[in-house]
Structure 1
Amino acid sequence: MNNRIQKTLDERKIGDTKVELLTFPIGQLFEEKEKINRKILNVIYILCMKERPIPRIPFKDLQKCTDKIVLLFSDEVAEWALDINEKKIEIKRVAQTRFYKEYKKKNYNSFVKWRPDFDIPIKRSYALYDARKKNAEYIWLLDDDIIISQDNYFRAIRAMVGGKGIVGFHVTEYPDMSIMDHAKRIVDHHNARISMTGSCMFINVKKVRGYFPYVYNEDLFFFMQQPFQNVVSGGTIRQVERTSWTDFERIRHEQLGDFIYNVYKSRFLKLNTGMIDWKNEKKEQLEQLNRLYETVSDEMVKEAVGVAYEATKYIDIYEVEEFVNNCQFADWVYRL
């Protein structure tokens, strides 16, 4: 591993598995451990789904951190939420809002058809919109399957009070990674290289710009719209078990976002430099997927790689260029 990559990655051991946390140019670990006991969060937004169980962090614990909790559902509400009758907990059906319809119309891309119910970017963008309407300054966006320690929480609050715009976290157990990275881990025995995620994200609303694009990896693209010194990681957290490589419709849908982010990640790691030639990048990723398909022995992973290969062939370079232009990434993204 060259010196630049050593400065970029923070190696951790989770059980018997080594993972490398990508910490440059965004995701630097915030190490301040001083506890702040005062309540600063205005609203906690929890991204919920009808078919999923109640959020892993109990409401009674979350209510100690804020005066308002908003449960974001798409349209139909989960059974466990139907009996909630507390003033401090609001249930919002995002799909019934005008914001939802306008967002989908404005941000459509050709990969939406593979997973039309995918609404995480809409919920996150709605949370920002709603927070601004409420004149909220500090908010917490939380996926319903995330588990966070008290130390993580206090570190995030300290970073917020210290002036940071966003505190995300690195998910080390069952992290969301591209099928290409998953296959490389098996074939090439690479450690998992994990970027900071937005699945547990503290935001100073007044210090952020941009939006969450309607594509997989929308949290990473949101981070790339911010000044990088404003975005830090509060450490490592856990989420419930996932086996996303068994869901082929999900793999097809994720390829557009994975393709674009993999190109930028290679530059963050200094594996590639110079101006981006998207046509050539597509050719290179197809070659990598083809090599992995020919090499991997696990039949389920092999089939998943094949699905990713076919979906990547479908990517339209003009659509990619339009997407990148619309994101209006921060200047540092183009200087690396």
Structure 2
Amino acid sequence: MTHRQDLDFRSDTVTKPCPLMREAIAKAEVGDDYYRDDISVRELEQFAAELFGKEAALLTPSGTQSNLIAIMSHCQRGDAYIVGDRSHSYLRELGGAAMVAGVQPQVVQTQPDGTLSLKDIEASLFPASILFAPVRLIALENTIEGKVLPLDYLRDVAALANQRGLPVHLDGARIFNAASALGCPVSDIAHHSDTISFCLSKGLGAPVGSVLVGSAQMIETARRHRQMLGGGMRQAGILAAAGLFALKNNMGRLTDDHMRANKLAATLSDIPGLSVQSPQTNMVFCDIDRSIQDRFSGYLNKNGICVSGTPARQRWVTHLGIDDTALSTTLDLLARF
């Protein structure tokens, strides 16, 4: 059976623009962003910079490109950057840092809570030598697999980085989920990183785009790298308008996604053979016993429920496309398994 669009838990990237967002797109003032003439892009970038407490911002087509631009802006070819082995920029971005930027990932084990231990980070900071690629950057991710990095931890990493003269880049694709879970402004999280990339097209519900924020000098460097990577755009205001609408209207509702994820986890936990991790944000991970894997996957498919992962380990993601009605339908179906 084809999955039902209202029961699509694969990712928060499957959301579609609401009518008001489409209206904002249609009415967007546009210009040639190559010449910095697009009023809507400038408005989005200024709004994002102020929201994060940074000097400047840059609209990019994707989070993958935004992360790569940040790495290229902090590092030179032949340098290295510290990154977790579960981080998106290392594991799921096609090795772009090494392949395109010539920057070697210095991989550190990701702890069960999503952090990189300070001890492991320090151990990866090799002494200066002609044998080692010099580490020029520490890269974190928040949230990572739905887990939130505590503010105290971010502060400690920033202190270590400052002590060693290193910048910190944060892949904050879902940073607004982290801020919602922590109950703090997003600027409190951003304070501990030099650059932050965040997605407009996940929980915020815009159709496309990510934004990189940082110092004015860093963003000017990033702008050159964006152009080199083919990310420079012309009348990009139609995308910026959607992103600006999302930032102004969709941040507060993320708590609804987290609440629904908890309800979903509770129902999944009642199914024998499923081991469910308690969600911190909008992601529910469950391990399925081999004895029921085929039957459970078949049941979901038969009823049009779509999830990501494998028959052995599934990821369920709540988002603005999963309202109370869709959740109630899903919970009823799961209860009948």
Q: TM-score, normalised by structure 2?
A: 0.27
**Which structure has the higher relative contact order (CA within 8 Å, separation 6+)?**
2
Q: Larger Cα Rg: Structure 1 or Structure 2?
A: 2
Superposition TM-score, scaled by structure 1 size: 0.27
